[in-house]
């Protein structure tokens, strides 16, 4: 394995050819703090968003090109959490949650996914910018955790056996995605697998031995985790580490460009008496006043 030392705010991909497995490890520290500090969410919602950002990074690093974007959305009605949105692009993460404060206060200390969302759905969208392909899978929100819901998504939407583990310890969050790809992942636009390979059972058993504290320990390099899990494998390949950052892409120039797509009459109805349109960004919790006269 290469000699890179990988710890926080990083994603690291790997493959174990002998087991027909590929995987991703993610650990977030400062990125989580930066994103959460803009919102003032209650602890339960902070934990949920932390988990979602880890999952988004795990899935986003499956994209082949930096211009692509991965968007994950969980939505429900008449529940403590009505909307969760995260996206990933070129190593940058952002996300937000809409919730009912009174219902959140009534949740148990460690709520399950049904406690948070009730009955809802999970939508994951892969936008491949280079090929201009867009694929979206939508499945019911099933399982007791967000990690379990992602496993269900891959089983139902992609037919790919997957193991997902996510942990949050204080101000650090980490996760692992392990997938069975006997046909390999190079040169394929979509994931592909068959379900008759015994190697996956072995790989899943090994992957399931990962401890939550290992995922979140900043002093434990991600490479070391991979080596511990698959030390008996004849070959382990690690990819270049991907640095992760907070990346809300809203700015005045972008917002002006969006507003210019509306007619002058439509923009006038959006503006106040002083001719200012106030645009709120849910991701960074900022308001952008746009003066139409400037």
Answer whether residue 104 is part of any domain: yes
Q: What is the CA radius of gyration of the chain?
A: 20
User: How many domains does the chain fold into?
Assistant: 2
The model's pTM:
0.87
Say yes or no: 195 and 284 in one domain. Answer: no
pLDDT band for 158, please (50, 70, 90 cuts): confident
The domain that holds 109 is classified in CATH as 3.55.30.10
* pLDDT, mean of residues 94-100: 96
Answer whether residue 21 is part of any domain: yes
**pLDDT tens readout for residues 24-60:** 999 999 999 999 998 999 999 999 999 999 999 999 9
**pLDDT tens readout for residues 174-233:** 999 999 986 655 433 334 444 556 788 999 999 999 999 999 999 999 999 999 999 999
Judged on CB neighbours under 10 Å (0-12, 13-18, 19+), 190 is exposed
Domain end point (choices 246, 261, 276): 246
Q: Which residues contact 184 (CB under 8 A, 6 or more apart)?
A: 20
Structural domain for 257, as ranges: 252-291
Answer whether residue 178 is part of any domain: yes
Q: Residue 281's pLDDT is what?
A: 78
- Of 270 and 2, which is predicted with more confidence? 270
**pLDDT tens readout for residues 240-251:** 999 999 987 777
Give the number of other Cβ atoms within 10 Å of residue 261's Cβ. 8
């Amino acid at each position: 394995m290469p000699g890179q030392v990988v710890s926080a705010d990083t994603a690291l991909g790997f493959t174990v050819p002998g087991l027909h497995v590929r995987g991703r490890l993610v650990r977030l520290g400062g990125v989580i703090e930066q994103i959460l500090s803009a919102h003032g969410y209650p602890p339960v919602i902070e934990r949920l968003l932390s988990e979602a950002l880890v999952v988004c990074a795990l899935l986003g690093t499956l994209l082949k090109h930096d211009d692509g974007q991965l968007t994950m959305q969980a939505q429900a009605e008449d529940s403590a959490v009505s909307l969760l949105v995260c996206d990933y692009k070129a190593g940058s993460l952002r996300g937000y949650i809409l919730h009912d404060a009174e219902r959140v206060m009534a949740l148990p200390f460690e709520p399950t996914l049904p406690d948070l969302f009730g009955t809802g759905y999970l939508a994951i969208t892969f936008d491949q910018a280079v090929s201009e392909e867009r694929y979206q899978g939508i499945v019911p929100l099933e399982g007791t955790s967000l990690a379990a819901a992602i496993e269900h998504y891959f089983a139902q939407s992609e037919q790919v056996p997957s193991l997902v583990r996510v942990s949050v310890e204080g101000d650090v969050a980490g996760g692992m995605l392990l997938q069975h790809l006997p046909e390999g992942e190079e040169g394929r636009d979509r994931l592909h697998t068959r379900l008759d390979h015994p190697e996956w059972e072995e790989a899943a058993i090994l992957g399931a031995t990962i401890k939550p504290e290992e995922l979140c320990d900043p002093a434990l390099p991600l490479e070391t985790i991979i080596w511990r899990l698959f030390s008996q494998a004849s070959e382990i390949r690690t990819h270049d580490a991907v640095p992760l950052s907070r990346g809300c892409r809203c700015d005045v120039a972008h917002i002006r460009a969006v507003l210019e797509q509306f007619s002058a009459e439509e923009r006038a109805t959006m503006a106040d008496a002083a001719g200012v349109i106030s645009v709120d960004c849910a991701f960074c919790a900022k308001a952008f006043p746009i003066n139409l006269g400037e």
